[in-house]
Amino acid sequence: MVETRILRIDPERPDPALVREAAEVVRRGGIVAFPTETVYGLGADTYNEAAVRKVFEAKMRPVDNPLIVHIADFDQLYEVAVDVPPSAASLASRFWPGPLTLLLRKSARVPGVVTANRDTVAVRMPAHPVALALIRESGVPIAAPSANLAGRPSPTTAEHVVRDLYGRVDLIIDSGDTVYGVESTIVDLTRDPPVLLRPGAMPVEEVERVLGERLVIPPFARGLGMADAALAPGMKYRHYAPLKRLTVVEGDYTNLDGYARKVLEVVLDAATRGSRPAVLCSTETADIYRAAGIRVVELGPRSNVFVVARNLFKALRAIDEMPDVDEAFAEGFEEKGLGLAVMNRLRKASGFTIVRV
Ligand code: AMP
Ligand code: MG
């Protein structure tokens, strides 16, 4: 057990004295859970091997699953990466700070423990004022994965972090809810054409617009099956998973009413087998399940998938907390914009238990 302190920092106007306190923990080789605009991260001084190792231990994360290096200015980019291609410079100048992670060649300064001994490094500049202030004040790039126990849904509030990591980390910064609620988009720029390793809060379409070319989108980036470990090391593990069984029910969303009725059949079928199901669904279709007496967790409107993404991990955790629910069925969403990230997370969370109706 580690003694865990909790520090409440205003996300809009971070109190410099509190940020200094948190940065002091990083500088002394401690590990700190901090808010970003995507999800909460668990950070350590990138250049301190022992500190980075503590991140893996606290999360019980396999050591072959590399971390993202979070930076606060462009000098730090050239400190941790080499051979930075022009495409990286254009994406970074357009989207940083923001929820886009770039995979680049790693510099000798970054210890192997951060990158799982690969010759590449994942880098991003987060847009959250507390994250940026913390990195600046620490004076070093902060290596961080999401601040959850390995395999669990990523934390979108400090309460989620407390639930998973209290007693395992030195400090938890509480700045309320994160903005996007899904992790950053990861693009591998060491390959030509560039490859999408993980869809996330930055829509792929926007990245393609700036690059002027299409990304390669491997099936695993859509959440369809396991990743090739050589390409995306962390992606082979079960991720985002609730403890209860989750099934994703996919179909034709252009005929929404007909689709939801078919989902309802699948759900009622489970109920007749004696299971007590809940449905994760869109605002538009929620009443169809409610009318049939099914427990509903609304994710948000299909017309604004941003909201769906934002609520997703919270909803997955909520299912686990419902005493009268045995399993969950999730509606599918169109794989456009943030919908691609939503479907990647849902399919992976289900352990690829996908039904087509
Ligand atoms: P997390 O922030 O918890 O979502 O974890 C960061 C993710 O970034 C990992 O799961 C990796 O798949 C990915 N990542 C980080 N570094 C690399 C790298 N060098 N090569 C490929 N993927 C990486
Ligand atoms: Mg993670």
* Cβ–ligand 1 contact at 4 (below 6 Å): no
CA of 188 to the centre of ligand 1 (A): 11
Extract the tokens encoding 187.
Answer: 């693009």
Nearest residue by C-alpha to atom 14 in ligand 1: 66
Extract the tokens encoding 213.
Answer: 């070319």
CA of 320 to the centre of ligand 2 (A): 19
Residue 70 CB-half CA count within 13 A: 32
- pLDDT at residue 251, as a whole number: 98
User: Which secondary-structure segment (H or E) carries 22?
Assistant: helix 16-27
- pLDDT at residue 225, as a whole number: 83
CA of 121, closest atom in ligand 1? 19
Q: What distance separates the 2 farthest-apart alpha carbons in the chain?
A: 61
- pLDDT at residue 236, as a whole number: 60
Amino acid identity for residue 1 in this structure: M
Amino acid identity for residue 192 in this structure: D
Buried b (16+ CB within 10 A) or exposed e, 47-62: bbeebbbbbbebbebe
- pLDDT at residue 238, as a whole number: 65
CA of 115, closest atom in ligand 1? 19
Mean pLDDT of each 10-residue bin along the chain, 357 residues long: 96 98 98 98 98 98 96 98 98 98 98 98 98 98 97 95 98 98 98 97 98 97 83 68 89 97 98 96 98 97 97 94 95 97 96 95
* Cβ–ligand 1 contact at 247 (below 6 Å): no
- pLDDT at residue 229, as a whole number: 73
Residue 247 β-bridge partners: 329
Least Cα distance to 180 among 283, 303, 305, 290 occurs for 305
Extract the tokens encoding 247.
Answer: 């099934």
For the stretch 52-59, contacts whose Cβ atoms lie closer than 8 Å and that sit 24 or more positions apart, written own/partner, are 52/111, 52/113, 52/114, 52/143, 53/113, 54/29, 54/30, 55/31, 55/143, 55/144, 55/145, 56/113, 58/2, 58/31, 58/165, 58/168, 58/169, 59/145, 59/147, 59/148, 59/149, 59/150, 59/165
pTM over 0.85: yes
Gap between the Cα atoms of 24 and 138, Å rounded: 7
Gap between the Cα atoms of 199 and 100, Å rounded: 9
Gap between the Cα atoms of 268 and 323, Å rounded: 19
- pLDDT at residue 227, as a whole number: 77
- CB-count burial class (<10 Å; 0-12, 13-18, 19+) for 209: exposed
Torsion angle, alpha carbons of 75, 79, 85, 87, to 10: -50
**Could you say which ligand is closest to the alpha carbon of residue 228?**
1
CA of 323 to the centre of ligand 1 (A): 34
- pLDDT at residue 228, as a whole number: 72
User: Beta strand pairing status for 41-45 and 142-144?
Assistant: antiparallel
- The number of beta carbons lying within 10 Å of the beta carbon of residue 291 is 9
Amino acid identity for residue 129 in this structure: P
Q: How far apart are the first and last CA of the chain?
A: 48
* Cβ–ligand 1 contact at 120 (below 6 Å): yes
Torsion 339-72-68-210 (CA) sign:
positive
